Amino acid sequence: MRYRTFGRLDWKASALGFGAMRLPVLGDDPARIDEDKALAMVRYAIDHGVNYVDTAYPYHGGRSEGFVGKALAGGYREKVKVATKSPTWLLEKTEDFDRYLDEQLERLQAGPIDFYLLHSLSRERWPKMKELDVIARAERALADGRIKHFGFSFHDGLECFKEIIDSYDGWEFCQIQYNYIDTDFQAGTTGVRYAAEKGLGVIVMEPVRGGSLASPPEAVRRALDATPIRKSPAEWALQWVWNHPEVSLVLSGMSTLEQVKENVEAASRSGPGHLTAEELAAVDAARREWLGTGWVPCTACGYCLPCPHGLHIPDNFDIYNRAVVQVDRRPRLKDWYSRWPEERRAGSCQACAECETKCPQQLPIASLLVKVEELLGGAPQTEATGGT
């Protein structure tokens, strides 16, 4: 494992952090974590040098924090820093900050929280946090030892990001979405550099954009394979982020032990400035190919759920993206889509737009679902569907 400078803190972070958001589950219920598989994943990562585990109040239907606490028993707690987040959208009164923090401490059963974040700040949520005087509450939690370091995660535009950083001198770190597609999206490259210049540790989430960059269309693969040294698409995405010296830590929401092993191995090869000019040119070419596909940049975070009409939005975007980038498989995907229950398909969207207010990617979900139905709807059923 490689270790990196973390802002102005006297601590080195493992290049790879473990994100407990996409753990393996039983059946299709995200709240039913497959604890045997997930436990093996977390402990393998820690045994191989990962020293940062990230969770949050809503992950896995509220079960992620409790699972992380269990996973860190038996001596593992002493080997890592634990991060979790205040559910800012649920804070209605000033005292709610402490109420949720105390609940999270109880869930985790892991002592003080090393890194505590205001979750998913935006131009809508930040004024509410100031109105509730949440910063003062956090400073009290720092003083009494319930949390050790304080920061925020972010989903909005660059100017809002700068405003939040400049509004409080006590920020120690931030967490932002960043990958080779999102160089100009949300905080983007400019935001990464701005935060680092201010002395903040910079944690990157969605380095593989919810797994999308791990399964690229053929044109993207060709662009990435145009260099002598071959890497998997997922490693290309990770190495591109690790190449930035301003980045302190890259979080990966892993779902299988194999993904953990691959990412740990990739982290051992990482470092600021490791990519050659030729490799960077290949990633630039891959970016251009991605942006020309017409895919929907959904990260399958699930924040849009539950839909009041029963629609599973990320599943619709997943099958649409497969159909867009794998044209040869489109008839098969259309047939599979036709066999879904009607209420699950994009055509059942009522355009209430409730999901759009929750989407960190700021996607026009209702209009995009129309495109899903236009491409995949009305497919005739066939006898042989196969897998996907």
**CATH number, domain containing residue 204:** 3.20.20.100
| 212 or 261, higher pLDDT | 261
Give yes or no: residues 255 and 341 share one domain: no
Which structural domain, as residue segments, surrounds residue 64? 3-291
Could you give the number of structural domains in the chain?
2
Residue 378 has what pLDDT?
63
Average pLDDT for 120-147: 96
Residue 319: which of 344, 337, 305 has the closest Cα? 337
Question: pLDDT tens digits, residue range 229-281?
Answer: 889 999 999 999 999 999 999 999 999 999 999 999 999 999 999 999 999 99
Instruction: State the Cα–Cα distance between residues 14 and 49, nearest whole angstrom.
Output: 7
- Bridge pairing between strands 12-14 and 201-205: unpaired
State the average pLDDT for the chain: 91
Give yes or no: residues 148 and 208 share one domain: yes
Residue 267: which of 50, 83, 76 has the closest Cα? 50
Contact 365, 359 (CB under 8 A): yes
- Out of 265, 291, 317, pick the residue that ends a domain: 291
Give yes or no: residues 223 and 340 share one domain: no
- Out of 221, 256, 291, pick the residue that ends a domain: 291
Give yes or no: residues 300 and 331 share one domain: yes
Give yes or no: residues 41 and 142 share one domain: yes
Contact 76, 35 (CB under 8 A): no
Count CB atoms within 10 A of the CB of residue 228. 8
| 129 or 297, higher pLDDT | 129
Give yes or no: residues 280 and 315 share one domain: no
Question: pLDDT tens digits, residue range 331-366?
Answer: 888 888 888 888 888 888 999 988 988 888 788 899
Residue 382 has what pLDDT?
41
Both tokens of residue 169?
């001198």
Residue 149 has what pLDDT?
98
Question: pLDDT tens digits, residue range 76-107?
Answer: 999 999 999 999 999 999 999 999 999 999 99
Give yes or no: residues 206 and 315 share one domain: no
Instruction: State the Cα–Cα distance between residues 85 and 119, nearest whole angstrom.
Output: 5
Both tokens of residue 137?
């509450």
Give yes or no: residues 82 and 226 share one domain: yes
Both tokens of residue 125?
């949520």
Residue 384 has what pLDDT?
35
Residue 387 has what pLDDT?
36
Specify the 3-state DSSP secondary structure of 251.
strand
Contact 248, 17 (CB under 8 A): no
Give yes or no: residues 277 and 383 share one domain: no
- Out of 291, 324, 348, pick the residue that ends a domain: 291
The phi and psi torsions of 8 (rounded to 5 degrees) equal -95, 5
